[in-house]
Amino acid sequence: TFIGLIAMLDEDFGVRISPGTILRCHTVEDLLDEVTAELGPTKMAA
C-alpha cells in the first residue's frame, strides 16, 4: 500500500516525508519526486 511504501522509505532510507506532503501526492511518481527532493544529491550518492 501507499502507506506501507512511505513507512519503508522512512525505515530503510531515513527519508522523512511530512503528512502534508504525503497528502499532496496522488501517485507513486509524485511520492518518488518528493523522496528524491528530500534525499538530495548528497544522500543519493551515499
- Please give the pLDDT value at position 44: 52
Contact 30, 24 (CB under 8 A): yes
- Please give the pLDDT value at position 22: 82
**Three-state SS letters, 25-44:** CCCHHHHHHHHHHHHHHHHH
Q: Which of 12, 34, 13 is nearest to 22 (CA)?
A: 34
- Please give the pLDDT value at position 29: 93
Alpha-carbon distance 1 to 40, whole Å? 25
Q: Which three cell numbers stand for residue 22?
A: 504525503
Q: What is the pTM of this model?
A: 0.60
Q: Which three cell numbers stand for residue 30?
A: 509524485
